[in-house]
Structures are given as C-alpha cells and as structure tokens.
C-alpha cells in the first residue's frame, strides 16, 4: 500500500491520512444511502402490513426468473470488482481493466433485464396511475405494491447506472495510468459503492419477487 | 497576554499574501477550493436568501396588522409564509453557521490547511446554489402554498403552484448539506494537528461535529420523502393520499424524522459559537468543558428519538405520544446542562461587554425562554391546546431567531476581524445588537400570548380581539428589520474603512488567532503542535494586567 | 487465504444462499417465509460487507460509520412502527 | 381603537377539561418563570459583579465540579418526569370519551365544517351542544387534513381523510365560542372558522327539533340502505351470501385471513368504501365498492343505521 508515488493533495500531511480520509468518506456516504433507501423500506413495511394479501397477489406478477438472474448478475459483478480492487494494489493493469469492464457489462445486462421487466409490467397495465388494473379485487393494495416496486427498483437502477459509470471511469484511468497501483484508493472506494448497490438488491429481491411463489 | 502553548514557530504573515488578496479575479473565487473562500461564498448566498425570507416576513407582518385580509389575498399570504419558512430554514439557517463560520473556522481551529475534500466543498456550494435556483424559480413562477412542512395530501394533491420545483430545490440543497456534513466529519477525524486530541478541541468543533452527524443521518430521509411527494404529485400514484391508498401520517413520520433533528442542526452550531464567546469575554475556561461537549453529542443522538412530539394531535397512537413526550423532556436535559455551564462560566470571570458578548448573553436568555416553552409543547395535554397556534411560532422564533440568528451575528462579529482583516465600528454594533434584542422581544413575545388565547397559525385573517397583540408584534418586526439592516451596512462599510485588525484583537485563545488576519491560503506556515487544553484564559491575570495599565495612567 | 480465493469462496456461498432463498419461497411456511428470506438476505449482505468490502480490516471508525447508518435506520423504523402498531 | 382594547384579554374557559389544562399551564409557567428568572438573575449579578475592572474576588475555587454538574442534571430531570406524568395523565383522559356521550358527526372539507346531530339536524360552521353532557365528535375529512379546534374547551384534534378521529368534551358554560381550523388546509384555511354554542339541555332538545331537521341520522341511513341496494344482498331474502348486519356493530368479526377485528365505525366505513380490504370469514369478496358514489356524510348515516340495528339499550337522551 505504501507506494511513495501516490500524489498527495496539499491539505494532507501523509498518504495514509489521505487514503483513510477517502475510505471513511465513502463509508459515511454509504450510511446516508442506507437512510435514503431506508425511508422506502419503512413505507414498504407499513403498507405491506396493511394489505398483506394484496402484496402477495401482486408479487405473483413479478418475473421470478428475471429477478433471480439479475441477483446472480449483480453478485458476480461484485465478485469481479472485489478482485479488481485487490489486483489494483498489485498493479496488474490488464486484469483490472478486464474485470472492471466485465462488471460494467454485467451492470448493463442487469439494466436491460430490468428494462424488459418494466416494459412488460407497463404492457400488462401494472404501472400505477396509468390505467392501472389488477384482477381479483385487490387493486388498491396491489397498486401500492407496484408504486413501491417501481420507486424502489427504479431508485436502485439509477444507482446501478451511476455505479457502472464510476467503474467505467476507473477502468479508463487504470488503463491510462503509468502506475495503476497509485489508483488503489480510487478503485477501492468506487468498489465500495458498487458492493453497496449489490446489497440493496439483495434485500429488494425477496421483498418483491418472493412473497408468493408457492407451488 | 495569553500563552498559546504552541511549539510552532510564530506564524508570520507580513510578507505573505492573505487568502483574499492572493488572487483577485472573479474566476479565482468561482473555482476556489479554499475553505475560507467557500465560506465567504456561502455568506453572500445565504444573506440573499435571508433577505428574501425577511421581506416575506415583513409583508406578512404588515398584513397581520389588521384583522381583515385587506392587504393581499389569502393565496398570496399562504405563499408568503411558505417562502418565508422554506428560505429561512433550508436556505438560511441550516447553512448559516455551519457553512459560513464552520467552513471558515474548522480547519483553522484544528490546525489544518484545508478541509479533507476541498473540491467536494466547493461542489457543495454549487449544489446549494442550484437548489436555491430551483426554489427561486418556484417562487417567481407563481409560488407554492404548502407551508414549509409540505403536509400530504395537501401538498401532493390539492396545493397550488410549483410544489415539485420547490421540493426538488430543497432536495438538492439537502445533498449540499450531506456533502458538507460528510466533509466536516472526515476533516475533524483525520485532519487535526498533532497534539489536538478530542478533549483539546474547541467546543465549536464539537458542535460542528455533532451537527454534521445530524446532517448526514437525517437529510437522506428528507430527500426520499420529498421524492415520494413529488412522485405522488407528478404521476398521481398513491403513496400518502388516502384516496389513493396511502397514509398521510406516514408522511408526517418521515418528515419529522428529519425535521426534528434538523431543528438541532439549527441550534447546535449556535451553542458552539456561544461557548467560544462566553469563554473569551469572561476570560475564563469554560465551566464543565466535558459536560458541554458531551451534551452536544447527547442532543445529536437523542434528538433523533423525539420527532413524534409534532404529531400529538395527528391521530398518532396515544402510547407512541407518551414515548415521544418523555423523550422530548429527556433531550432537554443536555440543553439545560449547557445553559447552566455557560452561566457558571461567568462566575469569577473578568467580563467584557463587547458586541459579540452582547449577542452571547442575549442568546442565553432567549434560548432559555424558547427552550422552556418547548417544554410546554412536549407536555402532551398542553400541546393539544397550543399546537398549531402562535405559541408554536413564538417558541421556535425564540430559539431560531433569538438563539441561532443571534449566535450567527455574534460569531460573525467575533471572527469578522479574522475573516475580513478589519474592525467594525463598535458603538454602532452594540447599538444594533440592542435594537435587535428589543425588536425581537416586541415581535415575538406577544405571539406567546396570542397562542395561549388560541390564535391559530397560518391565518391570513383573524378575529378582532387579537388585533392589539398583532399590532405590537408588527411594530416589533419593523424595529427588528432596522436592527438587521444596520450590521449589513456597517460590516460592508468596514471592509473598506474599518481599522485594520491585528491577528488576535480579542486576546483569545485558539489556533485561528495565531494565524494572521486575514489568514494566508494555507492558514499556517508551519503546522502548529498543540500541548494544552483549550480556553487557557485566566481572569486573575487579565485583571492584574488592567491594574498595571491603570497604574501607568495614574 | 489469498484475497482472490476468498472472494471466490464467498461468491460460491452467495450463490448457495440465493438458491436457498428462491427454493424456500416454494415451500409455504406462512409468515416464516418472510422471516427466512430476510435472514438469508442479512447473511448475504453480511458476507458482502465483510469480505468484498473488507469491513473486517477497515478499522473501528469505518465500522462505526456504517453501523451508525443501520442503527439510525432501526430508530426510524422501530419508532414509526411503534405508532402504527399501537393504534387502537 | 375600541375594537383594539375590548375583549383582548378575555379568555373563556367553557369545558370541564379547561380548568385542569389551565392548572397544568400555570404549573409550567411558574416553573419556567422561576428557571428563566434565576438564569437571567445570575447573568445580571455575575455581569455586574465580575465586570472587567471590578474588584471582586476572583481566586479560582478548588474541588470537584462534579457534584454541581450532577445536581443541575438531576433536579431538572426530576421536574421533567413530574411534568411529563402530569400532562400525560391528562392527555390519556382526553383520549377516552365517557360511554354515555352524545355523538356528533363532523365532516370537514375545504373550507367548511359540516355537522350532523344524531337527531338528524345539520348545520354548517356551527356546532350546538347541550350544557353539562359529554359530547363526542366523530370526525372525518373529505379532502385534506384539517383540525377541529375550540380554544375555550382547550381541545384540538386533526381531522384526517380516510379515517375517523374523535375527541370529546363536557361543556360547562353557556355561551358562543370560536371554532377554528388549526391545520393548514389551503387557500381559505383562515376562513374555515365557526361558532360553538353551548345551550341549556332543554333548549338544545328544542333546538334539535327546529330548523333544518331531517329524520334522524339512522333513519336517513335506513333509506340509503334500501335505495343504494345494500338490502339487496344484506337481507334474509337475498340470493347472494352476504352477512346480516344486525348486531354487527361493536362485535368482533372474524376475517378471512384469520385475524379478528372489532366492527367499529372505521371498519364499517372500510367495508363500504374499500370492501376488499378486509373480507369477513366465510364470504366471497363480491361486495362492490361504493367509493365515489357515497359521500362521507352518507357513509356516516349508513353507519348510524347499522349501529341502530345493534339493539343495545340506548342511554336516555
Ligand atoms: C432551533 C430550533 C428548535 C429547537 C432547538 C427546539 C427545541 C425544542 N423544542 Fe421545538 N420546534 C421548533 C424548533 C426548535 N425547537 C420548530 C421550528 C417547531 C415547529 C415546526 C412547525 O410545526 O412548523 C417546533 C415545535 C415543537 C413542538 C411541536 C409543537 C406542535 O407543533 O404541536 C414541540 C413539542 O414537544 C417542541 C418541543 C421542543 C423541546 C422540548 C425542545 C428542547 O430541545 C428545548 C430544550 C431547552 C430548554 C428546556 C431550555 C434550557 C433549559 C433550562 C434552563 C433548564 C431548566 C428547566 C427546568 C428545570 C424546567 N418544539
Ligand atoms: C429559520 C429562521 C426564521 C427566521 C430568521 C424568521 C424570521 C422572522 N419571522 Fe418567521 N418563520 C419561520 C422561520 C424563521 N422566521 C418558519 C419556519 C415559519 C413557519 C412557516 C410555516 O408556517 O410554514 C415562520 C413563520 C412566521 C410567522 C407565522 C406566519 C403564519 O403562521 O401565518 C410569522 C408571523 O409573524 C413570522 C415572522 C417572522 C419575523 C418578523 C422574522 C424576522 O426576524 C425577520 C426580520 C428580517 C428582515 C425584516 C430582513 C432584513 C431587513 C431588510 C431586508 C429590510 C428591507 C426590507 C424591507 C423594508 C421589506 N414567521
Ligand atoms: Cu381546514 Cu385549515
Ligand atoms: Cu421537534
């Protein structure tokens, strides 16, 4: 870690201080993200408690296969990024670039699948507010389910897109840097963000896709 | 005078250029990453927003001078108090001390060259300005009439005007708060000079640290709440509107989960400033330093547990109400500790009544009144009668205007020589501090009475019997306005004509006072090393010195 | 163990957990379905945080920052639900 | 000027709760004033005594500051707990209406109060109540949140859309008092005001008979029950399997998801407007929603009718 070549910004005294500051900053930022999504999770609990059956019925309309694939996609991408972070410290430029770009590609796959699901929902008349209809008399609760579904997965998808952009920038910088090991902190911190995006999905997945898929 | 207990070479500034003169172009300001310049940029912006909020207040008070709604229509009045609340809370008071004095002082006080993330710092200002632009757009293109609390389903379904633009503006300003809070936390953790241990930090730093904690942990919830309101309003999807399957009380929980802690964002920084001022002008080490420091932490943490006291008549469960009520009482204990410790600091001091000290003493009195009336509101049954009346308005103006704005002005005067390198005219300054104190009390004390008598807030017209008190309040407001305009004028005047300031005009302790006035870009030529506790004041020595001077004169 | 190997093992376990959570959804356990699903999610999240995000090696302060986020979320949720669930 | 001066300080107290509230207020006021004046007093005394250049003794004290810190933490704490208990007990009382109350229905809408008495008389922005009898207001809003506030009674309660809230009082002084909407509700919030008139019970009884009297709320509800087709299903002769509503009110109802709820106003209102929210056990969810077809007042009348089917001995009027 202690590469003497890391450029030191004028406000810092030593590289370790700079690196710790960046890491701490990112973790605090992630704490704020927890609370950003947290408000939505609270709404989810309150409304699911008010209409448990409607939520179960509505959950039946989500695409379990697509959701499962997407979960796997994000997990694998996280794995790539974790490796990329480690290998950056070793200065392994080529592998790192490949891993980061693979993660970006997986992010794109995720978004495409998500887009496909959205499209399907809208076709089916399950987009709230746009002549929403839901059979079986549970329309009210089901609509709330889909309000939360679109808001929460939408906000998450936004994070995926931002995260992918950050990873792409990292890949570019690593590629062009004469000494990739210098970029360890940057890749590390970007990776933290990416893993967090993954974690959010780990919770969204069962809450939306797995309420009722009983055979 | 006071020894600084520093092992660094004396900081020389004579040959260096200071942060103001180092570069003079506009673009050097717009692209600056210097924490001091960012502080100045914030100062200019929030002054603008304060004036907008103040003009709205002036118009409201004019309207309320008569019971009939004769000066303006009720939609206009409703838009005015919304503009007033939004501007004053999010665009003036929340960023006031943190972003102006905090930005300027934190690195200086902890002996750093800058904050941890200077580029994030200037970015937060741009984000803030961007949020302000949205809010101004919402105001100019017809206004918003929801009140600063945006209660659903009114805001999401029934309100007039550009609610979404306003919400987005506040949301964006919120991200600027988050950036600032994050920056301060990391700075205070990682950038302290050698020897600057936690218990050697000035209490201002403790208060900024705890404020940042709230900024970072509460603001995201406001962000998501405003997003949901905007979605409901924009797309007609039901989230909070019961007609669409939502629950309006959930909105109130989310909103107050942010907004109650936010009121502590609007007082903790003020408390920090007051601790500095009291110690300096009483020439005494602050009484119970650790208690005051931990009181800040306690307020920040326990402040998150009491939000339901805004919802005692909202149909919240009786049991939840009881929990929130007792916790509201408990969170008042640390404030009590602070008030008592400040008062005790005066004991056996050598007290000077310079302008900043006048503000500080005014703060203690008015904050105490505001806080004590908060206890009325935390008392469950009492709040049933008092909620949504002018008693509430008086309660929070006593704390926010009588407390925080006083502290901001006091701090501004105290550090003005450091910030600008100039002295302000002392007599005029004392006079306006007095004007503000008198005007303030005349404006807001009658409102307590109005509230007890039952006058509801957000009323454009009111029954005749409330007129006398309203007239008094409006009269007070005009005195208050004069009191605010004066500092604006003489501080500007002093930039050019004020006496030049030496590095430490007050004989204060603290690292910021060993840097030249104004400080150079990197604050310290050599990093200071701290070996002693803060507030190394000595009242006896100060008195002895006076005796010596007098002896010379005789 | 070297980090890349550790990451690989972690991924494997994550996949097993994923399969588990989907599988359990096909068994009707009443309200336990949700409980189990959430437990599995917490396990997955913990793995990601501890291994991929290296929280184990990041020091107390960093851990504190992250747990502050979780703790405050717990405050938000528990006190709000306290109201909703105690209404008569 | 006359307007300015007359009546400014008049502050009527017209309910049994009011004196208790005023006592609480005085208690808070006395304690707060003592504290505030003590703090201010110390500041003034220290400010004079230890002003710069005064000859007061400034030798630093010795000993620990711990005892005094503990003292000024513990004493307020004790006071706070006492205040909390005092106010909480009162609040709890305010949340529990006595059983024998007159029940008055209030519907709030932008920007008026519509009141309906059990006897059928309706009024707008007025509320007439009998002296000395407990009155419960059962309130609901048709649009946004309002708040029903009568300063002379020291009571206030938000009125929500989609859910009933209630508050009660025992008026104990004849007179006319302000009624305010206290929750901001839009343009004419400040004009959503009215008067509460407290009358002698006989006078109140007479008043109920005159003016805009319809038949009693329950009787109107009965008419609606027939004309809106409820009776088509909810009757012994019906071909559809729907629960008979006699005696439902106030009783526990088993739901299809296994839960049990008490059939109060809120439940019955939901059954009419959101029939699929909770399904009575053993029935299929075939009841259509009446959302958009029935206003809140009509729903209140239907509820009054369904309540009247629960043949409980009515308390004497
Ligand atoms: C900076 C802002 C600020 C601060 C610091 C506070 C501090 C407090 N506030 Fe206030 N409050 C607001 C701003 C603030 N408030 C605003 C803006 C609103 C209205 C929002 C809206 O609806 O628009 C509001 C509304 C509000 C309500 C809701 C009223 C309602 O709408 O029904 C309540 C209820 O409990 C309350 C209570 C308190 C309490 C108990 C404190 C305590 O923290 C105060 C603690 C301080 C002291 C108590 C004084 C010092 C103590 C002593 C000297 C000790 C000794 C005392 C004794 C032994 C008795 N406040
Ligand atoms: C946070 C800080 C803050 C500050 C500093 C103030 C400052 C003032 N406020 Fe406050 N106020 C709030 C926060 C604040 N307010 C909030 C949150 C609300 C609730 C809103 C809601 O209900 O949604 C509120 C509501 C509120 C009301 C109640 C409205 C209602 O419910 O109907 C009133 C009424 O008197 C009022 C008055 C004032 C006055 C007279 C000042 C004065 O201190 C202002 C004095 C300042 C100036 C006058 C500007 C400087 C002078 C000039 C620029 C001179 C030139 C201008 C002219 C000649 C016009 N405010
Ligand atoms: Cu109705 Cu305010
Ligand atoms: Cu509060």
Could you report the per-residue pLDDT of D272-304, keeping only the tens digit for each?
888 777 777 778 778 888 887 888 888 888 888
Compute the nearest-CA separation of B221 from chain C (Å): 9
Average pLDDT over every residue of D121-142: 92
CB of B142 closer than 8 Å to CB of B59? no
Between vectors from CA A63 to CA A58 and to CA A66, what angle results, nearest 5°? 150
> What pLDDT is recorded for position A127?
84
CB of B429 closer than 8 Å to CB of B355? yes
> What pLDDT is recorded for position D285?
78
| pLDDT, tens only, C45-73 | 999 999 999 888 888 899 999 999 999 99
* Centre of ligand 4 from the C-alpha of residue B247, in Å: 21
Say yes or no: A33 contacts chain B, CB-CB below 8 A: yes
Residue B54 in contact with ligand 2 by CB distance below 6 A:
yes
Chains in contact with D, counting 3 or more C-beta pairs less than 8 Å apart as contact: A, B
Residue B307 confidence (pLDDT) above 80? yes
CB contact under 8 A, C72 and B317: no
Q: Residue B13: CA atoms inside 13 Å, Cβ hemisphere, count?
A: 24
Model confidence at D8, pLDDT cuts 50, 70, 90, reads very low
Nearest CA among B154, B165, B79, B161 for reference residue B458: B79
CB of B380 closer than 8 Å to CB of D87? yes
Q: What residues in B contact A37, CB-CB < 8 Å?
A: 224
Compute the nearest-CA separation of B166 from chain C (Å): 25
Lowest mean pLDDT among A103-107, B65-69, D118-122, D144-148: D118-122
Average pLDDT over every residue of D84-95: 94
Nearest CA among D38, D27, D30 for reference residue D84: D27
Residue B5 confidence (pLDDT) above 50? no
Model confidence at B6, pLDDT cuts 50, 70, 90, reads very low
Sequence-distant (6+) residues with CB within 8 A of B292 are B203, B206, B275, B286, B337, B338, B341
Residue with tokens 């209102």: D269
| pLDDT, tens only, B180-223 | 999 999 999 999 999 999 999 999 999 999 999 999 999 999 99
Give the number of the ligand closest to the Cα of residue B144.
Answer: 2
Q: What residues in A contact D277, CB-CB < 8 Å?
A: 50-51, 140-141
Model confidence at D215, pLDDT cuts 50, 70, 90, reads confident
Residue B514 in contact with ligand 2 by CB distance below 6 A:
no
> What pLDDT is recorded for position B3?
38
What is the distance between the terminal CA atoms of chain A, rounded to a whole angstrom?
53
CB of D226 closer than 8 Å to CB of D236? no
What rounded mean pLDDT belongs to chain D? Answer: 86
Q: How far is residue B376's CA from residue C83's CA, in Å, rounded to a whole number?
A: 22
Residue B121 confidence (pLDDT) above 50? yes
Average pLDDT over every residue of B412-426: 95
Average pLDDT over every residue of D198-202: 93
Ligand 2 pocket, mutate which of B69, B85, B161 (most atoms under 8 A from CB): B85
Q: At what angle do helices A15-50 and B248-265 cross, to 10 degrees?
A: 150
- Sort B3 into a burial class: Cβ within 10 Å, 0-12 / 13-18 / 19+: exposed
Q: How far is residue B497's CA from residue B425's CA, in Å, rounded to a whole number?
A: 10
Model confidence at D247, pLDDT cuts 50, 70, 90, reads confident
Residue with tokens 């747990």: C67
Average pLDDT over every residue of B9-15: 48
Model confidence at A213, pLDDT cuts 50, 70, 90, reads low
Report which of residues A29 and C86 the model is more confident about.
Answer: A29
Q: What is this structure's pTM?
A: 0.92
How many C-beta neighbours within 10 Å does residue B483 have? Answer: 20
| pLDDT, tens only, A179-192 | 888 888 999 999 99
Q: How far is residue A93's CA from residue A100's CA, in Å, rounded to a whole number?
A: 11
Q: What residues in D contact A142, CB-CB < 8 Å?
A: none
Instruction: Enter the tokens of residue D294.
Output: 């029935």
The enclosing H or E element of B54 equals helix B35-63
CB of B511 closer than 8 Å to CB of B108? yes
| pLDDT, tens only, C10-46 | 999 999 999 999 998 888 787 888 899 999 999 999 9
CB contact under 8 A, D277 and A141: yes
**Bridge partners of B165?**
none
Compute the nearest-CA separation of B428 from chain D (Å): 21
> What pLDDT is recorded for position A209?
92
Compute the nearest-CA separation of C66 from chain B (Å): 11
CB contact under 8 A, B323 and C61: no
Residue D103 in contact with ligand 3 by CB distance below 6 A:
no
Lowest mean pLDDT among B503-507, B538-542, D200-204: B538-542
Q: How far is residue B194's CA from residue D216's CA, in Å, rounded to a whole number?
A: 82
Question: Can you tell me whether residue A124 is helix, strand or coil?
Answer: coil
Model confidence at B370, pLDDT cuts 50, 70, 90, reads very high
Average pLDDT over every residue of A174-178: 89
* Centre of ligand 1 from the C-alpha of residue B332, in Å: 8
Say yes or no: C27 contacts chain A, CB-CB below 8 A: yes
Between vectors from CA B375 to CA B374 and to CA B381, what angle results, nearest 5°? 110
Residue B376 confidence (pLDDT) above 90? yes
CB of B395 closer than 8 Å to CB of B359? no
Q: What residues in A contact C33, CB-CB < 8 Å?
A: 210-211
> What pLDDT is recorded for position B34?
93
* Centre of ligand 1 from the C-alpha of residue D216, in Å: 47
Nearest CA among B240, B243, B246, B179 for reference residue B215: B179
* Centre of ligand 3 from the C-alpha of residue D110, in Å: 7
Residue B50 confidence (pLDDT) above 60? yes
Average pLDDT over every residue of D150-166: 94
| pLDDT, tens only, B148-159 | 999 989 999 888
Measured CA distances, A46 to A40, A49, A55, B72, B249 (Å): 10, 5, 12, 42, 11
CB contact under 8 A, C21 and A210: yes
Model confidence at D213, pLDDT cuts 50, 70, 90, reads low
Average pLDDT over every residue of A94-114: 95
Q: What residues in A contact C73, CB-CB < 8 Å?
A: 34-35, 38, 41
Residue B84 in contact with ligand 1 by CB distance below 6 A:
no
Lowest mean pLDDT among A37-46, B460-469, D234-243: D234-243
Model confidence at B2, pLDDT cuts 50, 70, 90, reads very low
Q: How far is residue D88's CA from residue B319's CA, in Å, rounded to a whole number?
A: 10
Q: Residue B499: CA atoms inside 13 Å, Cβ hemisphere, count?
A: 8
Nearest CA among D289, D276, D288, D281 for reference residue D253: D281
Residue D6 confidence (pLDDT) above 50? no
Residue B85 in contact with ligand 2 by CB distance below 6 A:
yes
* Centre of ligand 1 from the C-alpha of residue D235, in Å: 56
| pLDDT, tens only, B334-358 | 999 999 999 999 999 999 999 999 9
> What pLDDT is recorded for position A17?
86
Residue B451 in contact with ligand 1 by CB distance below 6 A:
no
């Amino acid at each position: 870690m202690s590469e003497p070549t890391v450029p030191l910004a004028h406000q810092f005294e030593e590289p370790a201080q700079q690196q710790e500051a960046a890491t701490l900053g990112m973790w605090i930022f992630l704490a704020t993200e927890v609370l950003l999504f947290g408000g939505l999770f609270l709404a989810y609990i309150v409304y699911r408690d008010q209409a448990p059956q409607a939520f179960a019925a509505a959950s039946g309309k989500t695409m379990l296969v697509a959701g499962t694939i997407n979960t796997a996609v994000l997990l694998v991408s996280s794995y790539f990024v974790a490796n990329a972070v480690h290998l950056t410290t070793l200065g392994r430029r080529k592998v790192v670039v490949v891993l980061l770009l693979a993660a970006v590609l997986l992010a794109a796959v995720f978004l495409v699948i998500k887009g496909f699901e959205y499209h399907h929902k809208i076709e089916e008349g399950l987009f709230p507010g746009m002549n929403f209809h839901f059979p079986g008399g549970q329309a009210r609760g089901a609509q709330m389910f889909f309000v939360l579904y679109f808001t929460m997965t939408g906000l998450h998808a936004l994070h995926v897109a931002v995260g992918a952009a950050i990873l792409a920038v990292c890949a570019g910088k690593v590629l062009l840097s004469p000494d990739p090991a210098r970029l360890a902190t940057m890749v590390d911190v970007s990776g933290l963000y990416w893993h967090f995006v993954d974690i959010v999905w780990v919770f969204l997945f069962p809450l939306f896709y797995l309420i009722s898929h009983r055979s | 005078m006071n020894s600084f207990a520093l092992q660094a070479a004396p900081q020389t500034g004579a040959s260096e250029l200071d942060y103001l003169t180092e570069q003079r172009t506009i673009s050097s300001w717009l692209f600056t990453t210097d924490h001091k310049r960012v502080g100045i940029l914030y100062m200019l912006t929030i002054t603008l927003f304060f004036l907008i909020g103040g003009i709205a207040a002036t118009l409201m008070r004019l309207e309320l001078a008569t019971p009939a709604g004769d000066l303006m229509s009720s939609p206009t009045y409703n838009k005015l108090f919304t503009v007033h609340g939004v501007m004053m809370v999010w665009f003036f008071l929340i960023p006031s001390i943190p972003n102006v004095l905090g930005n300027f002082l934190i690195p200086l006080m902890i002996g750093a060259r800058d904050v941890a993330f200077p580029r994030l710092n200037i970015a937060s200002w741009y984000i803030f300005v961007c949020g302000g632009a949205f809010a101004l757009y919402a105001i100019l293109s017809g206004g918003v009439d929801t009140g600063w609390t945006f209660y659903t389903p009114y805001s999401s379904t029934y309100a007039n005007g550009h609610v979404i633009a306003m919400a987005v503006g506040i949301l964006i300003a919120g991200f600027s708060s988050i950036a600032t809070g994050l920056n301060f936390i990391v700075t205070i953790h990682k950038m302290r000079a050698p020897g600057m241990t936690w218990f050697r930090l000035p209490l201002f730093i403790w208060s900024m640290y705890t404020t940042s904690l709230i900024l970072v942990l509460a603001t995201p919830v406001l962000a998501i709440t405003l997003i949901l309101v905007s979605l409901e309003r924009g797309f007609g999807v039901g989230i909070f509107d019961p007609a669409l399957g939502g629950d309006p009380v959930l909105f109130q929980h989310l909103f107050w989960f942010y907004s109650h802690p936010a009121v502590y964002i609007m007082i903790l920084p003020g408390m920090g400033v007051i601790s500095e001022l009291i110690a300096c002008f009483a020439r005494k080490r602050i009484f119970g330093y650790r208690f005051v420091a931990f009181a800040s932490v306690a307020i920040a943490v326990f402040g998150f547990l009491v939000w339901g006291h805004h919802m005692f008549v909202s149909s919240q469960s009786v049991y939840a109400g009881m929990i929130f009520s007792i916790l509201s009482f408990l969170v008042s204990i640390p404030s009590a500790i602070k008030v008592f410790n400040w008062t005790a600091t005066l004991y056996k001091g050598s007290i000077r009544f310079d302008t900043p000290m006048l503000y500080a003493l005014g703060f203690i009195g008015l904050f105490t009144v505001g806080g004590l009336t908060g206890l009325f509101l935390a008392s469950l049954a009492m709040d049933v009668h008092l909620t949504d009346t002018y008693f509430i308005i008086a309660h929070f103006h006593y704390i926010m205007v009588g407390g925080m704005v006083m502290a901001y002005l006091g701090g501004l005067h105290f550090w003005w020589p450091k910030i600008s390198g100039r002295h302000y005219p002392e007599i005029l300054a004392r006079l306006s501090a007095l004007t503000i104190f008198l005007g303030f009390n005349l404006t807001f004390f009658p409102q307590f009475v109005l509230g007890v008598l039952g006058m509801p807030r957000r009323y454009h017209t009111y029954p005749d019997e409330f007129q006398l008190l309203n007239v008094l309040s409006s009269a007070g407001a005009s005195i208050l306005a004069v009191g605010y305009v004066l500092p604006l004028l003489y501080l500007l005047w002093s930039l050019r004509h004020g006496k030049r300031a030496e590095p430490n005009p007050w004989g204060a302790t603290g690292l910021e006072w060993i840097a030249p006035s104004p400080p150079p870009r990197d604050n310290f030529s050599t990093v200071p090393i701290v070996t002693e506790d803060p507030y190394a004041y000595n009242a006896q020595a100060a008195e002895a010195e006076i005796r010596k001077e007098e002896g010379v004169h005789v | 163990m070297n980090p890349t190997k550790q990451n690989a093992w972690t991924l494997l376990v994550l996949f097993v957990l994923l399969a588990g959570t989907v599988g359990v959804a096909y068994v009707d356990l009443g309200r336990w379905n949700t409980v189990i699903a959430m437990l599995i999610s917490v396990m997955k999240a913990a793995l990601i945080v501890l291994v991929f995000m290296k929280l184990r090696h990041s020091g107390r302060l960093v851990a504190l920052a992250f747990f502050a986020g979780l703790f405050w979320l717990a405050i938000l949720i528990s006190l709000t639900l306290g109201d909703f669930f105690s209404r008569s | 000027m006359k307007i300015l001066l007359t009546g400014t300080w008049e502050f009527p107290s017209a309910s049994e709760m009011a004196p208790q509230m005023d006592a609480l207020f005085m208690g808070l006021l006395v304690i707060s004033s003592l504290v505030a004046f003590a703090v201010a007093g110390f500041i003034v005394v220290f400010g004079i005594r230890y002003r710069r250049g005064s000859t007061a003794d400034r030798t630093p004290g010795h000993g620990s500051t711990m005892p005094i810190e503990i003292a000024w933490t513990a004493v307020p704490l004790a006071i706070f707990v006492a205040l909390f208990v005092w106010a909480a007990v009162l609040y709890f009382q305010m949340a529990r209406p006595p059983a024998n109350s007159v029940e008055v229905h209030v519907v709030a809408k932008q920007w008026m109060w519509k009141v309906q008495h059990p006897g059928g008389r309706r009024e707008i922005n007025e509320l007439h109540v009998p002296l000395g009898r407990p009155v419960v207001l059962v309130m609901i809003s048709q649009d946004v949140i309002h708040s029903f506030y009568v300063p002379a009674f020291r009571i206030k309660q938000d009125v929500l859309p989609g859910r009933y809230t209630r508050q009660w009082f025992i008026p104990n002084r004849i007179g006319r008092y302000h009624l305010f909407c206290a929750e901001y509700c839009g343009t004419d919030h400040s004009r959503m005001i009215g008067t509460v008139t407290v009358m002698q019970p006989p006078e109140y009884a007479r008043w109920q008979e005159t003016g805009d009297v319809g038949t009693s709320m329950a009787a109107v509800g009965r008419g609606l029950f027939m004309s809106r087709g409820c009776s088509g299903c909810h009757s012994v002769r019906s071909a559809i399997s729907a629960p008979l509503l006699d005696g439902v009110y106030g009783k526990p109802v088993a739901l299809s998801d296994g839960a049990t709820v008490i059939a109060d106003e809120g439940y019955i209102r939901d059954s009419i407007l959101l029939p699929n929210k909770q399904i009575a056990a053993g029935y299929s969810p075939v009841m259509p929603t009446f959302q958009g077809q029935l206003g809140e007042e009509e729903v209140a009348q239907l509820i009054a009718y369904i309540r009247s089917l629960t043949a409980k001995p009515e308390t004497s009027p």
